[in-house]
C-alpha cells in the first residue's frame, strides 16, 4: 500500500517516505554545526509520522477530515528522550508549547484518543502500526546521542533558543520540500 504526504486537484502526490527523507535531510543540514543535528534529523523523519495512518489516507481521498497526523511523531520523539524534537514537531503544527512535563504528557496518544484539545481524531489507533509502516517503507530512526535537553527539562534561555532553532529548521525544511513538490506538479 502506498502512503502519500499531500494531495492536489489531480490526486495524491509526494510519497510520505520521500517527504520525510527530504525534510530530515534539510533539517540536519540546517543544524549541521550544532551538537543536536541528529535530533533535527529525527524531527524531520517523525514530523508527519501520522501520515502513515488510515485516517490520514482517507483525508487525502476527501472521505475524512479533522485528523491529527503529527502527535504520534512528537510522542515517539519524546519517548526517545528527544523533547526538543517533540516540541518542534508539535510546534510545527500547533505552535510551540511549554517545556514542562505536564504539557509534554498531553502528547500521549491514550490521552489524545479520549480528549483531543482540538477535537481531532488520531490518524491511526496504534503507534506500533505507524512505526511498522515507517519501517516497511525503508525508514529508520537515527540515534540522537546528544539530545539538546538531555535528561532534564530545564527551560533556560539557551535551551529554549536551541528549541526555537530546531523548530525553525524543521518548519523551513518542510515548507521548502512541500513548495518544491508543488512547483514540480505545476510544471
146 occurs within a structural domain: yes
Q: Provide the pLDDT for residue 12.
A: 53
Contacts of 52 (CB under 8 A, 6+ apart): 3, 16, 123, 124, 129, 130, 133, 134, 137
89 occurs within a structural domain: yes
pLDDT tens for the 187 residues of the chain, in order = 778 887 765 555 789 999 999 999 999 999 999 999 999 999 999 999 999 999 999 999 899 999 999 999 999 999 998 999 999 999 888 877 777 777 788 888 988 888 888 899 999 989 999 999 999 999 999 887 777 776 666 777 888 889 999 999 999 999 999 887 766 555 4
Number of domains in the chain: 1
Q: Provide the pLDDT for residue 183.
A: 64
Instruction: Extract the C-alpha cell encoding 26.
Output: 534539510
Q: Provide the pLDDT for residue 152.
A: 65
Q: What is the CATH number of the domain that holds 22?
A: 1.10.3210
- The string over 153-163, giving b where at least 16 C-beta atoms fall within 10 Å of a residue's C-beta and e elsewhere, is eeeeeebeebb
114 occurs within a structural domain: yes
54 occurs within a structural domain: yes
Q: Provide the pLDDT for residue 34.
A: 93
SS3 115: coil
1 occurs within a structural domain: no
2 occurs within a structural domain: no
Give the pTM. Answer: 0.90
Domain hosting residue 29, numbered range = 13-178
35 occurs within a structural domain: yes
Amino acid at each position: 500500500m502506498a502512503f502519500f504526504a499531500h494531495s492536489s486537484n489531480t490526486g495524491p502526490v509526494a510519497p510520505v517516505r520521500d517527504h520525510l527523507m527530504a525534510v530530515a535531510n534539510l533539517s540536519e543540514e540546517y543544524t549541521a554545526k550544532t551538537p543536536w543535528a541528529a535530533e533535527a534529523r529525527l524531527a524531520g523523519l517523525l514530523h508527519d509520522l501520522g501520515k502513515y495512518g488510515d485516517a490520514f489516507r482517507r483525508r487525502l481521498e476527501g472521505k475524512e477530515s479533522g485528523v491529527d497526523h503529527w502527535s504520534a511523531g512528537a510522542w515517539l520523539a519524546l519517548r526517545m528522550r528527544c523533547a526538543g524534537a517533540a516540541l518542534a514537531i508539535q510546534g510545527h503544527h500547533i505552535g510551540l508549547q511549554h517545556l514542562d512535563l505536564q504539557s509534554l504528557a498531553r502528547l500521549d496518544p491514550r490521552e489524545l484518543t479520549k480528549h483531543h484539545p482540538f477535537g481531532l481524531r488520531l490518524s491511526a489507533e496504534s503507534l506500533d502500526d505507524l512505526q511498522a509502516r515507517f519501517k516497511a517503507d525503508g525508514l529508520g530512526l537515527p540515534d540522537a546521542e546528544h539530545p539538546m535537553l538531555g535528561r532534564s527539562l530545564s527551560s533556560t534561555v539557551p535551551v529554549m533558543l536551541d528549541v526555537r532553532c530546531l523548530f525553525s529548521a524543521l518548519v523551513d525544511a518542510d515548507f521548502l520540500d512541500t513548495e518544491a513538490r508543488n512547483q514540480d506538479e505545476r510544471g
